[in-house]
Amino acid sequence: MAPDDDLRQRILEGNIKLHRVEAPHYDVLHPEEFNWFEQHRLRRDIARIAAQLPANALALDIGCGTGNILLKLIALGINVSGVDISEDMVRLLKSRIPTHSEGKVNLTVQNVEDFLVGCAKEYDLVTASSVLHHMPDYISTLRSAIGRIKPGGWLYIVHEPTKNALGPDTFPRKILWQMDNLAYNLLHARSIPQTEARDYRMSDYQLYHGFDEDKVARECRGLGLDVVSFVRYSSTMRTGLSCWIDSSVLGSRRHFSLIAHKKR
């Protein structure tokens, strides 16, 4: 069910407020996205897709944030447009773009949904990392994003929650959580920033209200995409080793990634 206008506005405002607080230290505050386990997955997947793109390909990174995907794309020589609702995040991203790549990047501060609805361009690749669960209506956003992909183009979604994201922990996973927190705090105690209290209930609204990865995959197929990779895994912990153990040994499935190809 689509949210009413009041709820939609509160979700958007919740995202702006949260990311204003997090922007200066986002990468440190979210090691679950920047540990070697998740970064290896990202680089592998992006390289796999980039090998299929035409020369002078144009990509769109929705919810570009501090550049987790966008910076990897421009490093491969791909022209990228990025859009994010947070002016603070985009300002930080601009400072990270190498001078020699500035001509390959176009950044916009805008609500992703409004950007997609008003966008007339088509892209060879649309990417979204940890984005859809922030949207007031993630299926509507997904449909709009798919509508901006050229025939023969690609969609990449990563680090989104599964239905089991907030499920109960097993005893071994509880122990792993404790060990992971201890190890991270010991290794990074001096670099962990102190921030004001952060409330994720509105910014991560879909995480708490039934985000469904199977629905995402069905929607892609229903709109003419061939889902070539759909992987459930887990990168909720701080260190890469803990995430690897959580996924490969304990079999946790708290996140998913999806690669899809739009039929010609």
Kindly report the number of other CB atoms within 10 A of residue 99's CB atom.
6
The pTM assigned to this predicted structure is: 0.95
Cα separation, 9 vs 23, in Å, equals 21
**Which pLDDT belongs to residue 4?**
87
Q: Containing domain of residue 58, as a range?
A: 5-262
The CATH number covering residue 193 comes to: 3.40.50.150
How confident is the model at residue 149, as a pLDDT? 98
- Work out how many domains the chain is built from and give that number: 1
Q: What is the pLDDT of residues 108-165, one digit of tens each?
A: 999 999 999 999 999 999 999 999 999 999 999 999 999 999 999 999 999 999 999 9
Burial class (CB in 10 A: 0-12, 13-18, 19+), 220: buried
Q: Closest Cα partner for 126 from 87, 80, 92? A: 80
What pLDDT shows up at residue 3?
82
pLDDT above 70 (res 58) = yes
Q: What is the mean pLDDT of residues 196-205?
A: 87
pLDDT of 1 reads 58
pLDDT of 197 higher than 80: no
* Predicted local distance difference test score (pLDDT) of residue 196: 66
pLDDT tens figures, 11-41: 999 999 999 989 988 988 899 999 999 999 9
Contacts of 82 (CB under 8 A, 6+ apart): 60, 61, 64, 67, 70, 90, 93, 105, 106, 107, 108
Of the pLDDT bands very low, low, confident and very high (cuts 50, 70, 90), residue 75 is very high
Question: Average pLDDT, stretch 176-202?
Answer: 83
**Tokens of residue 80, six digits:** 């990228």
